[in-house]
Each structure stands twice: as C-alpha cells, then as structure tokens.
Chains A and B, each alone.
Chain A
Amino acid sequence: MRMQQLTAVLGLFVVALAGCPGAGGSLVEAVRIEPAAPTSSDPLTVVTVDADGQPVTATGVTITWRVDGVPAGAISSVLNAAATSRDQVWDVVVEVEGVSHTSAPVTIGNSPPSISEVQITPAEPGSDETIELLVAGWTDADGDPQDLDYQWSANGEPLGVVGGQLGPGFVVRGDEVSVTVTPLDPFSQGAPVTSSVVVVGNGAPYAPSVSVTPSEPSDQDDLVCVVDATATADPDGDAVSYVVSWAVDGAPFPDPETPGGPEPVTTTLTGDTVPASETQVGDNWTCRVVANDGTEDGPDGQASAYLAAGPVADFSLDDVNVTSPTSGLAVSPRDYLQKVSGWYFGHAT
C-alpha cells in the first residue's frame, strides 16, 4: 500500500503533499488517523483518502488536531507521541480546498512499560548468599510507577520464587540460576527480559545453633557447649566439622599466656566442656563454635552462661544446745527455706 504523508510547510496552516499532482479537482473524500488503535507511545499520522479509501495526495490543506474535541494547537501531519496521553480521544480536521473532513476519533491506549537490562548480582554467588538483581531502563510512557514480576529459575526449572531476591536455601553449589523480569503497569505487561545465567559457587556453613548446658549453671556444674544437630549445617549439604573455643569474662580459655594450664575437656566435640573445677560464681562463660565444610569456615555461633550465685550446699548437723528448741535434732539449711537465716561460724572456747 502506498502511503502519502502530509508535511507542514513554513509553520503555516497550509501543507503540501510530496508528489502532489497539482491544483484543481481534489480527490480527497475523507481523512483518517493511523494507527487506528494507538497507544501513548505512538505518533499519530493523518492520512487523506479517496472514495475507495485509498491514500491520495492533497495540497493546500489545513490541519487541526483536536483532543477531546478541543483544538490542541498542533498542525503537523504527524502528531508526536509525547503530545498524547492515555485515555485521551483525538481526532483531526483537514480542510482541503474549502472542504472540511473530520477523522474518526481514536482513543489513546495504554503503553506497556519496558526494561532494558536485568543483571544478577553478585556475578559469582555462593549458595549461602542472597542473590539480588539489578534492573535497568524502566520506561513507561504513561508515567506509571515501576512494578516488576520476577521468575527465578535454576537449571531451567522455575524455583517458585517471585520476589526480587533469592535467599539462601533455594539453590546449591553448581546450580545455574537466571531470572526473568517482566515490567508491569496496572493495565498491561511489557516484554520480559531474562538475565544471563550465573553458576552458584560453594556456600560457607551456616552459623551453628549453640547452647551451653546446663542453662542456669552453678559452680558445681560442668559447662558443655552443645551444637543443635537438627539444624541445617551447610547450604550445600556438605558434612561439616566444628571447632569449639571458650572464653570466660571475655578472656580466652585456656589462657594463651599460661601454657600447660587448665583446658577444656571433651564430651562430644573436642574441647566442648569446661570442668566445674575451672568455674566460679560470677563467671560469664561463652562458647564459640565455627563450622567448616572442608572448603571454608562459616560464621560462628555463640552462647553464654552466667554462673549466678545459687543456694548453698545443704548439710545436716545435730543441734548440741540442750536449751535450743531443736536440741538433739538434725538441723539443715533446708529446714529454713522460705525464711531468712543467719549462720554464724565460730569456735566454742
């Protein structure tokens, strides 16, 4: 189909058609706007047609673009897309040799948004890392706010993750990860863009979940550092080993300044136990555990226990005062629970 376009001349309301056959006997029977269903991204073009609906040339025409029935001040045969907005109704009036032709109106439709690039970061993620993405080039001719749909995939299979991040636990070492991002506005979606593929590297072990038992120790208790064996230890499922270290009131135990001094003993993990003989009331003991998957250490897990003063050790001794109410009876501190008691330690001389 041969399309003739009108061109504005010298800024006047008079246009001439390239290839115009000359004056006299206009063939123009109607005008129309192309495209017939424009969006806010499309320029509008007025086309003059003959009785058969075929484009024809015309000279000496005046053009008046109208929006919602009101002249918009545009006189060119081509109306820039920037002049239009979603939901506006445009028509155009073309006067040819004193005859006015009005186009059918067109309604400006929504322009779907677009993005230009999607990039995964970091480019070489570990399986213990949160994978994020960078989206560039958001464009929406209607000025709609940015909205994106995410579809993460690993090894070509959807992961069912639709957020903008892929947290640890969804992929393991060696997985090939990509993400497809689709720009959205309230009315439509734009063309999806898929990132390049990144290969997931080794993930360091997780911080162990650690506790000290007993949880409320006295200075009569051994302190045992316990790792929760039910917790997932490594993002790749690797077997891990643990290194336990202790500190008391912030100072390392054993004291590196005292070689050959007291050391932790082993209950389950090497050095996981501080003997009661090394503790005293008021101590704050902290155990720190680091897991290693054979490749790298993970972050440490820590737990502390404070040796609060506890009840005194009980005993049972005979009351030898013949005038005491408990004379001849065995007396113990436990007899005075729920009361305040004072115990004097002296010499009967």
Chain B
Amino acid sequence: MDATILGVNDIGFESGNEDITDGRDLPWLQATTDEDVWQDWGVTYRDVWVLDAENVPVGVFNVTGNSLADAANYDALKQLFLDAAAR
C-alpha cells in the first residue's frame, strides 16, 4: 500500500514548528488565515483524516484518548488506511 502521512499545524502555533519537525521528515504544513483548512474541514485537534485515492474521507481517527501505543488503537487507524486502499 502506498500511503503518505502529513501534518497540518494550527494557526497560532507556528513557533513550535522547528521543534516538532526536529528529527522527522514527514511534511509539516502550516495553516494560514488564507488557507485555514482546520476551519474548512471542520477538524478537531489531533484528528487523523484518512483519504482515499480520490481524496474522499474514509474515516477520521482522533488520537486524543486513543493512544497509538495501544495496539487496538493502532490497529483501528491502520485499518482505516487499509480500507482507503481497498476502495
């Protein structure tokens, strides 16, 4: 399965970008007032939106209270990616 994971920082938290990307190579995008995707998509802090190959949301998994250290949560999020790939 060919999947890409990206992060989108909320407006107002730009100062932490350097720290959060330190040692990581995943794309980290900065939302702006002109492109406020948080607002446009209606997301919640710590959502993971999984999109299929047509950019249709397959599911949303919020990691607050659903730590990925828990195997069940990890498997649930992984399943969303697998479902997206199966579409």
Flag A329-349 by CB within 8 Å of B: 1 or 0 each.
001011011111111111111
Q: Is A344 a contact partner of B32 (Cβ separation < 8 A)?
A: no
Whether A320 contacts B8 by the Cβ 8 Å rule is no
Chain A proximity mask over B1-29: 1 for CB below 8 Å, otherwise 0: 11111111110011111011101111111
Tell me, in angstroms, the Cα distance from A318 to B27 when the chains sit together.
9
B70 at the interface (CB under 8 A from A): no
Q: B interface, how many residues as a size bin?
A: 35 or more
Which chain B positions have C-beta within 8 A of A311? 51, 54-56
Which of A312, A313, A318, A323 is B29 in contact with, Cβ under 8 Å? A318
Residue of B whose beta carbon sits closest to that of A323: B25
CB <8 Å contact, A321 and B28: yes
The answer to whether A317 touches B35, judged by C-beta atoms less than 8 angstroms apart, is yes
Q: In the bound complex, do residue B47 and residue A345 qualify as a contact, i.e. CB atoms below 8 Å apart?
A: yes
CA distance A336 to B3 in the complex (A): 9
* A313 proximity list for chain B (CB < 8 A): 37, 40-41
Instruction: Tell me whether A241 is interfacial, beta carbon within 8 Å.
Output: no
Which residues of A are found within 8 Å of B56, using beta-carbon distances?
309-312
Determine whether A316 belongs to the interface, using a CB cutoff of 8 Å to chain B. Answer: yes
- Contact yes or no, B17 A341, CB < 8 A: no
Interface assignment of A10: CB less than 8 Å from any CB of chain B: no
B76 within 8 A of A: no
B43 contacts A340, C-beta separation under 8 Å = no
Given contacts A340-B85, A342-B4, contact A320 B49 (CB under 8 A): no
Q: Which one, A310, A315, A341, contacts B40 given CB within 8 A?
A: A315
- Interface: A324 (CB within 8 A): yes
7 example contacts (A-B, Cβ-Cβ < 8 A) are as follows A312-B55, A312-B57, A315-B37, A317-B32, A339-B3, A340-B85, A349-B13
In the bound assembly, the distance between CA atoms of A321 and B28 in angstroms comes to 5
Tell me if B30 is interfacial: C-beta within 8 Å of chain A. Answer: yes
Q: Which one of B5, B10, B23, B31 lies within 8 Å of A342 (CB-CB)?
A: B5
B16 and A319 contact, CB distance less than 8 A: no
Total contacting residues, chain A, CB less than 8 A: 35
Determine the chain B residues whose CB is within 8 A of the CB of A23 once the complex forms: none
Known: A317-B32, A324-B21, A347-B10. A333 touches B51 (CB 8 A): yes
A326 on interface, CB distance cutoff 8 Å: yes
Most central of B9, B13, B32 by chain A CB within 10 Å: B9
Contact A321 B51, CB 8 Å, known A313-B40, A345-B38, A345-B46:
no
CA distance A69 to B51 in the complex (A): 96
Chain B residues, CB < 8 A from A318: 29-30
Residue of A nearest to B31 (CB): A317
A333 contacts across to B, CB distance below 8 A: 51, 55
For residue A137, CB closer than 8 A to chain B, the reply is no
Q: For residue A342, which residues in chain B have a CB less than 8 angstroms away from its CB?
A: 3-6, 48-51, 81
Residue B79 is within 8 A (CB to CB) of chain A in the complex: no
Let me know if A321 and B25 touch, CB within 8 A.
Answer: yes
Partner among A324, A334, A344, A349 whose Cβ is within 8 Å of the Cβ of B8: A344
Contact B53 A348 (CB under 8 A): no
Q: CA A331 – CA B30 in complex, angstroms?
A: 10
Partner of A309, one of B19, B37, B53, B57: B57
